[in-house]
């Protein structure tokens, strides 16, 4: 049986990333920090859910299925063809790095202020470190932009030069030549995970001590 290579949870989370990150860019530049923070929280939930899904999700979504050894990555870079069904050895590590950098962007955002109207919910907790987090938020954003460009360049190379239907598989779940042999897990489970993470994040940002108000 040919099952989707990328289950619904992986695809919804994936396509949410470019949409939300484009919004974060625009809202960050425009100074719309209320919207910026809410969509930022949703990105933290999306990345958190994807990480949990990488441990208990469908077979091809699991880190164990696509995180190759350094020697396999080197061999792949030297031209050894990849025969597996999901991410190739380099793509597997690129996935983890992209998720990590998005997470660090969201995490640092929780501690920063725009020095005018907006304070991240954990700013008071960060204390004197708020300035460091702000620099991190700015620097990490540059790293994320570079990674996104590399991601798009790699995809274009595979899709157009090597004629591998990667984009179709990420959009439809599978294509004629890219599919999984194991049945995906129920999307409902991913939804429950997302709700639990959202609940925990909500508790964190509402229960931490806030700066005393002088008004």
Residue of the chain from 49, 59, 113, 180 that contacts ligand HEM (CB under 6 A): 113
Closest CA to 11 of 38, 65, 49: 49
Judged by beta carbon, residue 131 or residue 192, the one nearer ligand HEM is 131
- Residues in Cβ contact with 21 at an 8 Å cutoff, skipping those fewer than 6 apart: 43, 102, 144, 148
Judged by beta carbon, residue 99 or residue 197, the one nearer ligand HEM is 99
Total residues contacting ligand HEM by CB under 6 A comes to 42
Q: How far is CA 168 from CA 10, 136, 182, in A?
A: 14, 35, 19
Neighbour tally for 49: CB within 10 Å? 23
Using rule CB under 6 A, residue 133 touches ligand HEM: no
For ligand HEM, the binding residues in 37-56 under the rule CB under 6 A are: 37, 40-41, 43, 50
For ligand HEM, the binding residues in 147-206 under the rule CB under 6 A are: 148, 151, 155, 166-167, 169-170
Judged by beta carbon, residue 87 or residue 185, the one nearer ligand HEM is 87
3-state DSSP percent of the chain in helix, strand and coil, to 5: 70, 0, 30
Residue of the chain from 57, 59, 130, 137 that contacts ligand HEM (CB under 6 A): 137
């Amino acid at each position: 049986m040919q099952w989707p290579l990328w289950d619904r949870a992986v695809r919804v989370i994936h396509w949410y990333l470019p949409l939300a990150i484009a919004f974060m860019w625009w809202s960050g530049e425009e100074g719309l920090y209320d919207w910026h923070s809410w969509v930022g929280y949703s990105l933290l939930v999306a990345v958190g859910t994807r990480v949990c899904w990488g441990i208990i999700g469908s077979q091809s979504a699991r880190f164990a299925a696509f995180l190759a050894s350094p020697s396999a990555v080197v061999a792949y870079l030297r031209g050894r063809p990849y025969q597996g069904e999901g991410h190739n050895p380099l793509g597997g590590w690129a996935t983890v790095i992209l998720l990590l950098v998005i997470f660090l962007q969201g995490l640092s955002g929780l501690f920063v202020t725009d020095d005018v109207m907006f304070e991240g919910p954990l700013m008071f907790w960060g204390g004197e470190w708020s300035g460091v987090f702000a620099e991190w938020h700015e620097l990490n954003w540059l790293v994320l932009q570079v990674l996104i460009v590399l991601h798009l360049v790699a995809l274009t190379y595979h899709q157009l030069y090597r004629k591998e239907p990667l984009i179709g598989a990420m959009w439809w779940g599978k294509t004629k030549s890219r599919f999984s042999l194991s049945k995906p897990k129920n999307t409902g489970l991913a939804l429950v995970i997302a709700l639990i993470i959202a609940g925990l994040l909500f508790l964190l940002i509402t229960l931490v001590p806030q700066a005393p108000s002088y008004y």
